[in-house]
Structure 1
Amino acid sequence: MAPRRWISSAGMMNPLDQFVPRFDFSERHHIDIAAPARRIMNAVAAYRTQDDRLTRMAIRLREVPARLLGQTQGRPLDRSDFTLLERRDDTAIVYGLIGAFWQADYGLCAIPAPAIFQADRQDDVCKLVLGFTLHPGPGHRRRLVTETRVFCVTARARRLFTPYWYLIRPVSGLIRRRMLAAICRASEDRAGIGLSSL
């Protein structure tokens, strides 16, 4: 599978391009929100997957093999495991994760700084970015887009990750949509009547 590159219809650079310009797998979802941009992006930054019951159940199910094998996973994988790579004012937030995600313990690698994420690697891991970008939406709303990209560093990593991606993708999509709905509720609840504060 040849790596792909995202090009916006407006010709603008996607902030994810700075960290994963070429990728093997991707997924995008969006929601329209009636709230100020700063409130929306602060809700993105504050969101934790542990706050959603279905997401917690899905993660626990994913970690059954580790428990059966007697491997100690510790706490479930959460958004706090991601490294903040960049926040562009109130328009974008990008998080990164490096690991061998098909392994029972996710094979996570430490990312103490964004430069470490961007550095070239030769080991059998994948680089994953989770981005949130804000765009004008219909009416007085703003459109929040979340995009996940995965770049497999080696051909072996791509072979190992491919079946895992297609296995988890339906659940991953559901989690992303629930995440966007929760961010929307948090943003609009805090906005009071909403449109008057835009």
Structure 2
Amino acid sequence: MKSLDIYLPSYEFRSRHEVRVDADAARADRALREVTFKEVPLVRALLFARGLGLSGGTDRVLSTMVPRASVLEHVPGEGIVLSLTGRFWRLRGRGRDTPATAVVDFRARQGLLSTETRVHVLDPASRRKFSRYWRVVRPFSGLTRLLILRAAKRRAEGSA
């Protein structure tokens, strides 16, 4: 898979998480794509609190992200890269203009699952708004990503 630098080389905000996994890349990637909200109920609750709706317990977590994003790259056995644009600091995150771009990846390599989020905000006023939002949301966003990675680890290692 291509580096995130290809998709978003310039950014002001970043978050990265990884979990070691006793599995090859293909198995780890499959496990990541198959994680359901039943395995990560806190993620479901946090997304609902954010106003993103309530997915069913058997819905796959990554599949629910795809309709809200553009798929920049998807390599089976390696991972997926998604892009979103909008005003993320607003409840619904949408507006006529798109002052912010986020790129999110979920990757699998031999022995490792990872996710990275990068956000580029176009203008100073929007950057200030996003910065306040990010201070509040970042810990929960990070927790969400870690819970997804840990659930994928359990699946990949056969204890889901």
Shorter-chain-normalised TM-score: which range? 0.7 to 0.9
2:11 is aligned with 1:23: yes
CA drift at 1:182:
0.8
Deviations 1:89-126 (A, max 9, x none): 533421111111111211178xxxxxxxxxxxxx4521
TM-score normalised by length of structure 1: 0.66
CA distance in 2, matches of 1:14, 1:35: 22
* Contact 1:49–1:179 (8 Å) recurs in 2: no
Q: Distance in 1 between matches of 2:109 and 2:118?
A: 19
Higher mean C-alpha displacement, 13-22 vs 159-168? 13-22
TM-score for both structures, normalised by structure 2: 0.79
| CA distance, structure 2, for counterparts of residue 108 and residue 180 of structure 1 | 31
Q: Deviations over 1:107-152 (max 9, x none)?
A: 178xxxxxxxxxxxxx45211111123345xxxxx11121111111
Which piece of structure 1 moves more, 90-99 or 161-170?
90-99
Cα gap change, 1:155 to 1:54, in 2 (>3 Å): same
Root mean square deviation, CA, Å: 2.7
1:14 Cα deviation from its structure 2 partner: 6.0
* 1:146 maps to which of 103, 111, 115: 115
State the one-letter code of the partner of 2:82: Y
Identity of aligned residues (%): 31
Show the counterpart of 1:133.
107
Q: 1:47 to 1:22 in 2, by over 3 A?
A: farther
1:22–1:76 Cα change, 3 Å = farther
* Structure of greater relative contact order (alpha carbons < 8 Å, 6+ residues apart): 2
Q: Which stretches in structure 2 are left out of the alignment for 5+ residues?
A: 56-63
**Aligned-partner Cα distance in 1 for 2:39–2:93:** 21
